[in-house]
Amino acid sequence: MIELSPQTTARQALQRYQLPRTFAEAHDYLYRKLHSIQLLSLYKHYFPEEYNRSEKRSLPTAEEAYSPMETEFVELVDERLFPLYTEFMLYGSGADERSTVIPVRSLGEDWYNTEYENLSPGWQLALFLIGEVTFHEITEHQPDITIGENSPLREIVWANVQWDAFKERWKHVAEALHPAVAHIPLVISLAYHDTGNAFLDSTDEAPIEDCSWNREDMDLLIKEYQEAAAMITHINELLEWVGSDPGHLQTVLTLLKEDKKTWTTAKKD
């Protein structure tokens, strides 16, 4: 029996039961059904309680890209598992524009295409620390930072850095100075999109585009996002400590300058 909702006309209800008449129509019909089943099965797997409680309609109409229940699932993923471009996926797509690709929202900062003044204070400080901007630029935008010299990393040749020695050095410094400074190497990796983490190394200009709606890719993204969140916490702790006292920043710059030779190798021409 076909049940009509107050918003559904008899014609609209009957159209749901219209059989495909061509190969193309059959292909599109099966594709939409298969994709819906895939999303709903993922919903049941990752959020079983919410799935069982849901009273939303499970399948989309011919005028919808995604059903209310599919929308509910996507919003839960964005809220609890990892960030998505939900607006683009759910509300920027036409009925025939479903995609099997997960619209992952990158966390990497495209700072080289952003005006310095438009960056967050944390990113402004990070770019000064790694030598991408001068002390004039950082003090202009953050007057509380009264440093009078550039970061020693401004003149560094990154190809000459012995990264294992560099990381080990800052682990030792952290034991005597502050735990957060152990993450100096991580700030550099973050800025140059070289952390090894999918969320932090990608940007809006170079997004993650190779993950589909399946358990394997979902589990991978969940793991990557958890690791990214931990890295961001470490970096925020470092930037908060460095920015909390001019003496902290000066100490870090002095140490970078004094022991630079211990973790770099000058290459002969």
Mind listing the pLDDT tens digit for each residue in 37-47?
999 999 999 99
Q: Residue 261's pLDDT band (boundaries 50, 70, 90)? A: confident
Run of H or E including 88 = none
Q: Return the bridge partners of 161, or none.
A: 264
- Neighbour count for residue 263 (Cβ, 10 Å): 19
pTM beyond 0.75: the answer is yes
Cα(94)–Cα(51) distance, integer angstroms = 25
Question: What stretches of 112-244 show up as alpha helix (H) in DSSP?
Answer: 121-129, 135-141, 163-176, 184-191, 198-201, 215-243
Please tell me the predicted confidence (pLDDT) of residue 48. 98
User: Which residue would you say has higher pLDDT here, 43 or 33?
Assistant: 43
Residue 14 has pLDDT above 60, yes or no: no
Contact 124, 116 (CB under 8 A): yes
* Spans of all domains in the chain: 10-91, 111-206+213-262
Cα(9)–Cα(18) distance, integer angstroms = 15
Give the pair of three-digit tokens for residue 167. Answer: 């990381």
How much is the average pLDDT of 184-193?
A: 96
| Closest CA relative to residue 132, chosen from 147, 113, 151 | 151
Three-state secondary-structure class, residue 161: strand
How much is the average pLDDT of 24-42?
A: 76
Which are the contacts of 188, defined by CB distance < 8 A and separation ≥ 6?
130, 153
Cα(181)–Cα(199) distance, integer angstroms = 23
| Alpha carbon separation from 218 to 50, 96, 200 (Å, rounded) | 18, 24, 17
Mean pLDDT of the chain: 88
Share of the chain above pLDDT 90, in %: 67
